[in-house]
Amino acid sequence: MDSPGYIILSRLSLQSRATEVLAHNVANADTPGFRAQRPVFAEFIARQDGGTAAPGGRPVAYVQDRATWREMEPGSVQATGNPLDVAISGEGFFAVETPRGERFTRAGRFSIGDGGRLVDMQGFAVMGAEGNAIAICPNDTRITIQGDGTVRSENGTLGRLRVVTFGNPQALRAEGDRLFDPAGEAPQAVERPAVVQGALEGSNVRPVMEMTRLTAELREFQFAAQFAEREGERLSTAVERILRRRS
């Protein structure tokens, strides 16, 4: 296969990934704290042996998969009435303890787990500002969470939610649909977090726009597939003509 065939194959493989990323966004339109993702592609100029340009004076450019960019704009905050649902208004992440180490999330749908610990949707302990899990006793019946993250009951202060931020949030690695691995980034405590009790931050995915983008990407994939098919037919026709002349 000559250069056009290889170029369109590189386009097809990455067009497929772009479609998968958009489909993943649509599937998580209702996931609390989810952040929409975007693939980042680049142009790769192929080197030519014995020269700086391809035949005809044009460089051979392939599509290169560089990274995945994450939109960090906050999602809409909706009131739930559940006193253990917490949203962050502004920047920051909650910290939870997992078997793989500390992870961070914007999904503040918490509950009381085994041993009276405050846990997230996956049962991971929610960490306090002092580095310990926040514990709630059976006789703590009226839970209030103040704007700075302080957790209180009728019996006094139970702890303060750990809210952190990162210098480069794009460096975080997603684990599933809600958790982020710091990936070497040092968390920095937010001195004055803005925490809202009885509310939950939704996904920042806008379903209508994502469906429009998904439709456009599917059409691009179809166009590329048609081009590849026609390129294959062109090569087959060229081979047949060459063989016919030789015979």
138-184 pLDDT, tens digit each: 899 899 999 999 999 999 999 999 999 999 999 999 898 899 999 88
The pLDDT tens digits for 38-57 are 887 766 555 445 545 555 55
Question: Tokens 């960490």, residue?
Answer: 127
Kindly state the average pLDDT of the residues 7-25.
Answer: 81
Share the mean pLDDT of the chain. Answer: 85
Distance (Å, whole) CA 10 – CA 21? 17
Q: In this structure, are residues 175 and 104 in contact, taking their beta carbons and an 8 Å threshold?
A: no
Q: In this structure, are residues 165 and 188 in contact, taking their beta carbons and an 8 Å threshold?
A: yes
Kindly state the average pLDDT of the residues 209-238.
Answer: 81
Q: Is 206 a member of any domain?
A: no
Assess whether 19 and 117 both reside in one domain. no
Closest CA to 106 of 184, 188, 165: 165
Q: Is 212 a member of any domain?
A: no
Distance (Å, whole) CA 232 – CA 238? 10
Assess whether 93 and 195 both reside in one domain. yes
pLDDT reported for residue 1: 45
Assess whether 110 and 196 both reside in one domain. yes
Q: In this structure, are residues 63 and 57 in contact, taking their beta carbons and an 8 Å threshold?
A: no
In the chain, the number of structural domains is 2
Domain hosting 49: range is 3-71+217-246
pLDDT reported for residue 230: 79
Assess whether 55 and 83 both reside in one domain. no
Residues 6+ apart with CB under 8 A from 119: 96, 110, 111, 112, 113, 125, 126
Regarding predicted confidence, which is higher, 233 or 193? 193
* Global confidence as pTM: 0.74
Q: Is 207 a member of any domain?
A: no
Distance (Å, whole) CA 58 – CA 60? 7
Kindly state the average pLDDT of the residues 85-100.
Answer: 94
